[in-house]
Every structure is written in C-alpha cells, then in structure tokens.
Amino acid sequence: MRIHPEVYRVLLPSVAGYVLLILIAAALFGPRVASGWMVIGSILMYIAIAYVARGTTAHAMYVAERRIPPVVNGAATAADWMSAASFLSMAGAIALLGYDGLPYIIGWTLGYTIHAFFIAPYVRKSHTWTVPDLVETRAGGYGPARVIAVIMLFITSLTYLTAQLVGAGVVFSRFLGIPAQIGVFGALFGMGIYAASGGWKSITWTQFAQYIVLIVAYLGAALLVASIVGIWKPLPWFGYGELIQALQAREVQAGLPAWTTPFAKPLGGAAGQLNWILSAVLLMLGTIGLPHILMRSYTVPSASAARLSVGWALFFIGLLYCTAPMYAAMARYAFSGLWGKPIAEVQSVPWVAKFLPTGLIKINDANGDGILQAAELSFHGDIVVIGMPDMWNLAWWIAPFVAVGGLAAALSTADGLLMVMVTGITRDIYHRFINPNVPEHVEVRMTRVLVMVLSVAASFLAFLAIQDPRFALYVALLVGWAFVFAAASFTPAVVLGTFWKRLNRYGIVWGMVAGMATALPYVLAVGVFQAPPLSLFGQPIGTIGWGCVAFVVNLVVSVVVSLLTQPEGEAVMRFVDRMRLPELARVPAVAGASQEADGHER
C-alpha cells in the first residue's frame, strides 16, 4: 500500500517531536510538568500539522482539494464524529443505564452502514460543495431551499459545537488547574488557529492525527485495566462476560435489578422496547443527516472512494464503540466492590477520595448505619473513562493521556462543526446571494476571519454553559436533539432527492419545514416542560424516538407536495443522473474547468 506523502511530511515529525518533548519533560521536571505538557503539547502538535498541511485556495478550504485517501478520510470522519460525548460520556451512560443505554451504541454506528448505501457516493457524485448547495441544486436552483438548509445546519451545529467546547474546557481545568471558564478559551485558541489556517484540508489531516491520539488513549487504558481484571480470554472484548456475571451477582444480592435487564430505565423520557428500537433507529437516521458528517463525502476523489471511506470510518468508530460497554462493565464492577464496606473506609480509598470533592462521586448515608449500601453511592457518567486509570491504579501518565484523548475528541468534532457553519455563511449565503463575483482570495480570507469570529462566539456560549448549570443542561439536551432535527430535515431530503426523481423544490422545502414542525414542539414539551410522553401502540415514546415520527412526516409531506405540484425540469433530471451514475471517465478542461476542480465554474 502506498503511504500518502503528507504522512511523512507532516504527521510523523509532529508526533515524534511531541513524544520526545514529553519524555524530556518527564525526565527533567517530573510527572506534573509532563502532564501539563501532554495537554498543551497536543494542541501545539495539531497546530503544527494544520500549518504544514494548510491550503490557500477555496478548493482546499471547502473540499480539501477532493484528494483525501479513503483510509485517511475514514479516520478523519471517525474523529469528526466521535465527540467529547462519545469519548467521555457514552461509556458512563451505559454504566448507568445498562441494556437501556445500548441504543447509543448501535444508533451511533449502524447509521454509517446506510450512509454508505444511500448517501455518501451520491453526495460525492453531485459535484456540489456544501450540503445546502446540494439541496438547492436538487431543488432546481430554488434559493429558499438553500436558506432553509443553512438555518437547519446552524440549529444542529451550534449547540453541538458549544457542548464540545464545554468538554474541552473541563479537560483543561482538570489537568492544568485552571478554571473551566478560562479553559474553554484555551480550546478556542487551538481550534480556531488550525481551522483558520487551511479549512477542510488542514482539518482533515489534523483529525487523522487526533483519531490516532484518541483511539490509542481510549484502548490503551481499557486494555491495561482488562489485564488487571483478568478478562483477556482470549481478548477482553470476548472475555468480559465473566465480569458481567460477577457484577450482576452483586447487584442481585444488593436488591438491585441486574445490569443487563432490558427496559428497566428510561431513555429520552420513556422506557420500553418500542422506545428502545425507535431511539436507536432515530440516532442512525440523524447520524446520516448531520451536515459535518455529510460534508466528509466531498473530500475524497470519487464516489467509490466515498463509499469505501464510510467503511473505514465505521471500522475506526467501531473500535471505540465496542470498547465502551467493556469500560462500563469494569467501572460498574469497581463501584460495586465498595458496597457493604464502612463509609469511612470507602472515603479513604484513594480514587474515591480524589473524585468525591469534584462531585463526580456522591455518598449519602441515608439510613445512618455507617455502612455503604448500593443505593447510597451514586456517580456521574463522566468518571467511567476519566477516572478509570485511578480506579485501577495505573501509571501516572495514563490519566493525562486519557485526558489528551478526550481533548482530541472534543476538538476534532468542534473543527468539523465550525467549518460547516463558516462555509454556510461564506459559500452558501455570501457567495450565493450577496456577492457571487467575490474574488477567491477574498472569500478565503473571509473564511479565515469568520472561523475566528465563530470560535469566539461558540466559546462565549460554552463559557455561559459552564457558569450556569441550567444553561448547561439545555446544551446537553440539545446535543441529543440535534440528531432529531437532522433526521427530521436533511436525511429525507438527501435520500429522496437521489432515489425519487419526482421530488421537487416545494416537496423539499415543505418536507423539511413539516419535519421540524413535528420534532420541535414535542422536544420542547416533553424535554423542557416535562409533559408526559405520547404513546404509540400502547408504549411511551421519548424525545429521541419521536424523531422517527418527524422523519416519516417529512417523507410523507415531501411526496404529497411534490405530487401536487409541477415536476422539476430537464436540468434537475440531468443532475440526478449525475448523482446516480458512475463516472465513465475523468474529462479534463471542458468549458474551462477540470474534473478535479469541479464546482469552480459554478
């Protein structure tokens, strides 16, 4: 296999320099300085990679010159996708919810399989530049379709970005000893600089490095703990069943429902099998409609590479996602080991003593007997990954390295979100509606400035989120709902747009509006105002599961409105054919535009 030259030119020297400086810091100044350097140095490494791989044209800024190899694009997609929530919180959610948390695992992975079937190759073959550009072109050049797509893009991306910066701020505060409010601006510094340096080209190569960092950190800690627990039989992913059985025996003895008991805990405000399945399906449908994920199909050379890239993306994502339930089992097992012990003894356990003041672990001796009952111990989900090295007494450098992994996850997702929003302003609004003749160098400069402006705006929102816990709660909830909004708006438009030629501009616009009008009130009523959930077939449906209803409403409205109005003309039919058919050949220099630079003439 040919190794891409950027790997030699950019990645290897950056990573080697980073590791070397950590070793020097550890040898000369000890663990504390080395830990700090691990966190700060990782950001400097990303900036170095972004600077060396920077692009100077709109083609590099917006679509990474469409030359990213499928494996690299797959890893970058995985980093783009796996946020602070995946890295820090998902294992925690499974530890708390047991079987009822598993819709997160299948929902956030199997969407990629249908992404490869129904979306990625067609998005690439469309030769458009952005998702709103695709929506408008499919709608026959109908401007309002692009504007609505940009609004949907902002709704789904801005809250998501804020949450990433909150996650990054928390990592900064834990490992550098600075307030999290200040930490979010540290994240801004790193993210803004390297996103501004070269748009998607810089971001892609940085995300590739960030994927390597985050997966080594995540798997490294898990595999070390697995060897201490003794579940390498023959590999920990096959051997942690014993741990589950031992844990469940303790739970039954303590009078709790066993961890793998189905439908015992609510997900999105409701419990039950239908809600479990609808929640999983909605997360899949939402995944494939998120603009920063759709965007990744533009950066590869061909439709075939786009399909292959999705396969690699799910392979890389799967490595982390199939490890999360193992993390959850190991953490829950560690917690269950504290049950029945005197509270004074539990409080003196080093890792418990470390995390009690942070509020991530809470002990409440409700019956006043001085003995810790199972119900008297609670923990925050984030401790499962962040606290794992301490729980099992791993070497000092593992904990900061896990934090560096969490930071990589937060920053890599933040970059993708930042760029799709900036592109939404510069390409989809300014270039399309305000100044179509803007010179390329001005557009590139505008993009760079806007990256910094939006970084500051998102950091300020993150600052507010950390200041006010109620605001933070809504941000966290909105992140989950971003999937509902994506599934209710983009997913049906893109899939129907390819597979049904009769879909027209009015169908696209009214479908998206109807989908959002179905999703938003329910999410607000049940999620914010605590209204009781509605039932389908006698089973309650939570806010996430409700997104499936909004998806279907979008589909039905799109079809009905399209059938009641005029079909699109010849140009749109040609465009759909272009999306559907494989390239016969790469035709250069037709009408002054090469295939490689497709879209320049648009």
Partner 1 sequence: MTAPVEHPEEHLPERYKTWYWGRLVQVTAVFFVLWTVIAIWWHIPAPYAWRNVLLFGNMPLHWYLAAFISIWVGVLMIFVYHWVMEGVDNQFRAQALADWEELPEDVRMSLRLAGVTPSGAQR
Q: How many CA atoms lie within 13 A of 460 on its CB side?
A: 6
Q: How far is the CB of 58 from partner 1 (least distance, A)?
A: 19
State how far the Cα of 548 lies from the Cα of 546, in Å rounded to an integer.
5
Residue 267, SS3? strand
Q: How far is the CB of 376 from partner 1 (least distance, A)?
A: 27
Contacts of 526 (CB under 8 A, 6+ apart): 269, 532, 533, 542, 543, 546
Q: How far is the CB of 108 from partner 1 (least distance, A)?
A: 10
**Contact criterion met (CB below 8 Å) for 133 and 146:** yes
Q: Which spans of this chain sit near partner 1 (rule: CB under 8 A)?
A: 99, 102-103, 105-106, 109-110, 112-114, 116-118, 121, 127, 233, 237-242, 244-245, 260, 262-263, 273, 276-277, 280-281, 284, 304, 307-308, 310-311, 314-315, 318, 321-322, 325, 499, 574, 577-578, 580-591, 593, 595, 598
Contacts of 101 (CB under 8 A, 6+ apart): 93, 94, 95, 267, 328
Q: How far is the CB of 429 from partner 1 (least distance, A)?
A: 27
Which residue number, 170 or 214, has a Cβ lying nearer to partner 1?
A: 214
Which residue number, 229 or 310, has a Cβ lying nearer to partner 1?
A: 310
Q: How far is the CB of 501 from partner 1 (least distance, A)?
A: 10
Which residue number, 231 or 414, has a Cβ lying nearer to partner 1?
A: 231
DSSP string across 473-490: HHHHHHHHHHHHHHHHHH
Which residue number, 149 or 330, has a Cβ lying nearer to partner 1?
A: 330
Which residue number, 445 or 502, has a Cβ lying nearer to partner 1?
A: 502
Among 578, 105, 116, residue whose Cα is nearest residue 309: 116
State how far the Cα of 219 lies from the Cα of 582, in Å rounded to an integer.
38
**Contact criterion met (CB below 8 Å) for 462 and 184:** yes
Q: How far is the CB of 483 from partner 1 (least distance, A)?
A: 15
State how far the Cα of 129 lies from the Cα of 572, in Å rounded to an integer.
17
- Residue 195: CB atoms within 10 A of its CB come to 28
Q: How far is the CB of 304 from partner 1 (least distance, A)?
A: 6
Which residue number, 454 or 503, has a Cβ lying nearer to partner 1?
A: 503
Which residue number, 119 or 139, has a Cβ lying nearer to partner 1?
A: 119
Backbone angles phi, psi at 194, to 5 degrees: -80, -25
Which residue number, 273 or 535, has a Cβ lying nearer to partner 1?
A: 273
Q: What kind and span of H or E run contains 379?
A: strand 377-379
State how far the Cα of 502 lies from the Cα of 47, in Å rounded to an integer.
47
Q: How many helices (H) and strands (E) does the chain have?
A: 29, 4
The residue with tokens 């379709």 is 145
557: which 2 tokens? Answer: 């409205």
State how far the Cα of 481 lies from the Cα of 152, in Å rounded to an integer.
12
Which residue number, 212 or 593, has a Cβ lying nearer to partner 1?
A: 593
Which residue number, 89 or 459, has a Cβ lying nearer to partner 1?
A: 89
426: which 2 tokens? Answer: 């510069």
**Cα radius of gyration (the chain):** 24
What is the 3-state composition of the chain as percent helix, strand, coil, each rounded to the nearest 5?
75, 5, 25
Q: How far is the CB of 315 from partner 1 (least distance, A)?
A: 5
Contacts of 311 (CB under 8 A, 6+ apart): 70, 74, 116
Q: How far is the CB of 410 from partner 1 (least distance, A)?
A: 23
Which residue number, 315 or 471, has a Cβ lying nearer to partner 1?
A: 315
Which residue number, 279 or 455, has a Cβ lying nearer to partner 1?
A: 279
272: which 2 tokens? Answer: 């039950």
Q: How far is the CB of 195 from partner 1 (least distance, A)?
A: 29
**Contact criterion met (CB below 8 Å) for 366 and 324:** no
Exposed e or buried b for every residue in 231-252, given b needs 16+ CB within 10 A? Answer: beeeebbebbeebbeebbebbe
Q: How far is the CB of 248 from partner 1 (least distance, A)?
A: 9
**Contact criterion met (CB below 8 Å) for 6 and 205:** yes
Which residue number, 236 or 424, has a Cβ lying nearer to partner 1?
A: 236
Q: How far is the CB of 240 from partner 1 (least distance, A)?
A: 7
Residue 357 DSSP class: G
Which residue number, 264 or 374, has a Cβ lying nearer to partner 1?
A: 264
Exposed e or buried b for every residue in 409-418, given b needs 16+ CB within 10 A? Answer: bbbbbbbbbb
State how far the Cα of 178 lies from the Cα of 481, in Å rounded to an integer.
31
Q: How many CA atoms lie within 13 A of 246 on its CB side?
A: 17
Q: How far is the CB of 145 from partner 1 (least distance, A)?
A: 22
Which residue number, 184 or 576, has a Cβ lying nearer to partner 1?
A: 576
**Angular region, 590: left φ>0, alpha ψ -120 to 50, beta rest:** beta
Q: How far is the CB of 486 from partner 1 (least distance, A)?
A: 17
Q: How far is the CB of 186 from partner 1 (least distance, A)?
A: 34
**Contact criterion met (CB below 8 Å) for 183 and 436:** no
